[in-house]
Chain A
Amino acid sequence: MSFFRRKRLFLILLSLIILVGLVGLTIRDRDQLSAVEEFFQDAVGWVQKVALAPVNYTVNLIGNVDDMRNVYNENQVLKENLAQYQQTLYEVQELRRDNEELLAIIDKTDNIMDYTPIQASVVARSPEAWFNQVTIDRGSQHGVAQDMAVITADGMIGKIQSTSQFTSNVLLLNGFDRSNRISVNVSLPEQDDDARGFILGYNEERNQLVLEFTEYYEEIPEDAFVFSSGLGGVFPKGLEVGSIDEVTTDQYGLTQIAYVSPSANLTDFNHVIVVDRNITSDLDLDEGEEE
């Protein structure tokens, strides 16, 4: 009997050591998943694609029926908006042509705003609520790489956390912390320059992003748009992140911060676009060229 007790104690200690080892190995910021992880991720990804197709279809159907109840009211609002859009569209076309001509004059073809979109569908969401992570059905075989921005039609939702060959994991904005900051601009009306800052993380209680400004700005209107500046070296310029909800100072009263409501819905989306920036930064020049 005492032999069994000792054996049991031994096993538990051994499993504790394995636990600490595995957690320690995988918790670091890694550039790449190990081959074993990639294999299992892809294998389960295939099963998910097959098994979840009918489930997602049903969920979408129910969502659609739900939406239909509001169709009439929405239609009214949209019609009003559409009238305004016509004018904006014309202006945008003019400006775009202008811009192209001017760029052609100075022989500049690459732009920090340009990107190649990679369309992807969400195959799974992490059931563990503390990991704000979704799996999409495009991997490194399709050109997805770590740290690329992920957007929906409404705005940015996150970035690629890790890739395997045929699937990749997206870290959503509400899982961001200080180790994955986004360099952003806030458009100020009646001024030439944009306000600059960083998205530092996510406030769980307010369900909003925390933006820290690099300088002090006198007037920052509420509802001002926040978009990526492209200066972080990974994301292209001009991806919409959200709009300012409240401007305050941080807990020590030294720096100016703002709470930003994300413009994209972070809980309910099925199709995303992975943003592959055309200009590569120095960081990944040596590995980013082939593909």
Chain B
Amino acid sequence: MSRLYLPFILLLLIALQGTTAAFIPNFLLEHGWIIVFHSVFVFLVLFTLFYDLEHTYYSLFFAILSGVLIDIVYTSVVGVYMFSYAITIYFVHGMRKLLHANFFVALLLTVVGIAMADYVLYFIYLFTGFTNIEALDYFYYRMLPTVLINTLIFLLFYLIFKRKLVKWSELRFEKKGSIN
């Protein structure tokens, strides 16, 4: 049963991304700040760290899937979010082998992951002509506020999901282990 929770939560988060624009205060937009909520990605990082084992790649699978969904639903170009999320989650998964999963590692990997994923988005959108702002402007106006906001989301999600993810992971993989 707990297997179904994860795709369900992800689907809900993807749907909720459609309303995040309403929560960004207007005065920030007037200053030219661009804030993008990567709540799905933050959840995926937690998923990688606390649910996946070292040799399982469920998080990568879900990263690709939710990336494609975001592409289809919210942008007119398919493949950008998919690639960006997948490659960053793959990186986080790789880092997981080196670092022990605790709160500070999760925080660090979220900040680095968000910056990476968002930069990849910027890079591809720049090349495909959907944006033409310069790199410095991008760092100041988009990456900084985006990373800040998503760190807040991370703190919230960590409180809500961390224990549950660990529990579901144990439920799932230990059962499997006992069968083998």
Contacts and interface: CB of A to CB of B under 8 A. Distances in A.
Interface residues of A, number: 39
B79 A125 contact: no
Which has the most chain B C-beta neighbours within 10 Å: A44, A56, A123, A267? A44
A130 B73 contact: no
A126 B11 CA distance: 15
Contact of A55 (B16, B37, B79): B16
A44 B15 contact: yes
B141 to A, nearest CB: 10
Interface string A115-130: 0000000011111111
Question: Chain B, interface size: which category?
Answer: 35 or more
Contacts of A129: 34-36, 142
A103 interface: no
B87 interface: yes
B135 to A, nearest CB: 15
A127 B87 CA distance: 20
Given A40-B72, A56-B22, A127-B20, A48 B79 contact: no
A140 to B, nearest CB: 16
Contact of B130 (A15, A19, A125, A130): A130
Nearest to A124: B18
Contact of A127 (B11, B18, B78): B18
A25 B36 CA distance: 25
Contacts of A52: 15-16, 18-19
A27 interface: yes
Contacts of B14: 44
Contacts, number: 118
A47 B76 CA distance: 20
Q: Is the interface of A mostly helix, strand, loop or mixed?
A: helix
Contacts of B69: 40, 44
Interface string A98-134: 0000000000000000000000000111111111010
Given A55-B19, A267-B26, 11 more contacts: A15-B83, A15-B86, A16-B83, A44-B15, A47-B11, A127-B21, A127-B37, A127-B70, A128-B36, A135-B73, A267-B29
Sort A-B residue pairs by CB-CB distance and give the 4 closest, nearest first.
A124-B18, A22-B79, A125-B21, A126-B74
27 contacts: A18-B83, A19-B82, A19-B124, A22-B78, A23-B78, A44-B72, A47-B11, A52-B18, A55-B19, A59-B19, A59-B23, A124-B17, A125-B18, A125-B20, A125-B21, A126-B18, A126-B74, A127-B36, A127-B74, A128-B36, A130-B131, A131-B74, A133-B76, A135-B18, A135-B73, A161-B76, A162-B76
